[in-house]
Amino acid sequence: MLRDLRVIELATYIAAPGAAGIMADWGADVIKIESPDGDPMRGFFDTIGSDQAANPVFELDNRGKRSVVLDIRTDAGRDAAKALARSADVFLTNVRPAGLARAGLDYGSLKAVNPRLIYCSLTGYGLEGPDADRPGMDVAAFWSRAGVGAITAPKGAEPFPIRTGMGDHVTSLATVAAILAAIHERRRTGVGRLVETSLLRTGVYAIGSDMAIQLRFGKLASTRGRREAVQPLANFFQTRDSRWICLLIRQGSSDWARIAAAVGRPDLIEDPRFASARLRREHGGTLVDILDEAFGALDYAQAAAALDAGDLTWAPWQTPRDLVGDPQAAAAGCFVETPDGLGGTFPAPAGPARFPGAEDGPRGPAPGLGEHTASVLAEIGWSEDQIADVSSAS
């Protein structure tokens, strides 16, 4: 879908490389500019004291790209980066604004050499305000500061961290959407623009339903334990064989009778304690106890069949290990075989969308550090001497 779109990525870690990685899966030519030391994510397992030979975290966000090593602290490195930007459709970076300005790779400088360039800046906190140059990882900017963690943790629980890259990858999705919107605009105007995304703003949007309530009413219910849930039917219940089920209900009260029937307790429909949504909430602890007993009398397969017969919304509670063997995850295209660069493949998470009939998966392995420096610079007309100067400077 994105064939002939050239993306220059000057970025590290996950959020911005993840966005470029999605575009690489979709056919874009993504050139990853790295420092001589490389993207720190190349050393992810070293950081946690592991000697794993492979690095699936780096591979996920960088498969199918080409790696060019440039030291943008040098004149030769900066000139090469500008030359690549001149040849590009998109320049994507998560380098902090002050550093970009010092290197002459800020939006104004690159717009001057390529007016059609879509320049996307992904930061922790945005391009304006007192914290514009503050470093921001997803645990800090997305999870902690944006309130995502606070409303996720049950009331009274101590703070705990988000899983690796979760907020980053949500921001990757927002960034791809923003870039494609700007590309569409360029079809009409003929000129590029500055595009801005941030972990903070994406985090606020990710909890947008709750934030809308907070902004409108000035208060928000906390996340509570199972027996204290605001909606006791939208809950988790354990079956006799120790499997957990996530049960959800649609708006209104139509699902209440179906749930009662599914768990073998149709008598609950006539129980005056549960005659309305308000009463079910007031007697929520009691209702959860009753449903715990009812689900606990059923094996998972029995509960699943009964809930499906009632056309109810539910799902199994699964770990990533469980998900690997889930046939529906495979059918939905959640996993994809990724080239390993040695003639084989290995399974990895797929990109976030499917385009039936089109090639929308990995184009190749994650590149070695600087693997394509010479070939990429030769493509834009640099001589062997110029390439040698850049290589020596790096």
Place of tokens 């308000």: 278
**Residue 252 near residue 194 (C-beta atoms within 8 A):** no
Instruction: Please state the separation of Cα 49 from the chain's center in Å.
Output: 25
Walk along the chain (394 residues) and give the pLDDT tens digit of each residue. 999 999 999 999 999 999 999 999 999 999 999 999 999 999 998 877 777 789 999 999 999 999 999 999 999 999 999 999 999 999 999 999 999 999 999 999 999 999 999 999 999 999 999 999 999 999 999 999 999 999 999 888 999 999 999 999 999 999 999 999 999 999 999 999 999 999 999 999 999 999 999 999 999 989 999 999 989 999 999 999 999 999 999 877 789 999 999 999 999 999 999 999 999 999 999 999 999 999 999 999 999 999 999 999 999 999 999 999 999 999 999 999 999 999 999 999 999 999 999 988 999 999 999 999 999 999 999 999 999 999 887 8
Distance, in Å, from the CA atom of 104 to the CA atom of 74, rounded to the nearest integer, reads 11
**Residue 201 near residue 126 (C-beta atoms within 8 A):** yes
**Residue 105 near residue 129 (C-beta atoms within 8 A):** no
- Looking at the chain, how many residues does it have? 394
285 burial (CB, 10 Å; 0-12 / 13-18 / 19+) is middle
Q: φ, ψ for residue 143 (rounded to 5)?
A: -80, -50
H helix or E strand, kind and range, residue 181: helix 166-189
Q: Residue 364's pLDDT is what? A: 96
Q: Quote the Cα angle for 184-185-187, to 5°.
A: 70
Q: Residue 363's pLDDT is what? A: 93
Distance, in Å, from the CA atom of 58 to the CA atom of 45, rounded to the nearest integer, reads 10
Question: What residues does 7 pair with on adjacent strands?
Answer: 30, 90
Token pair for 196? 């801005």
Q: Residue 348's pLDDT is what? A: 97
Q: What is the reported pTM?
A: 0.94
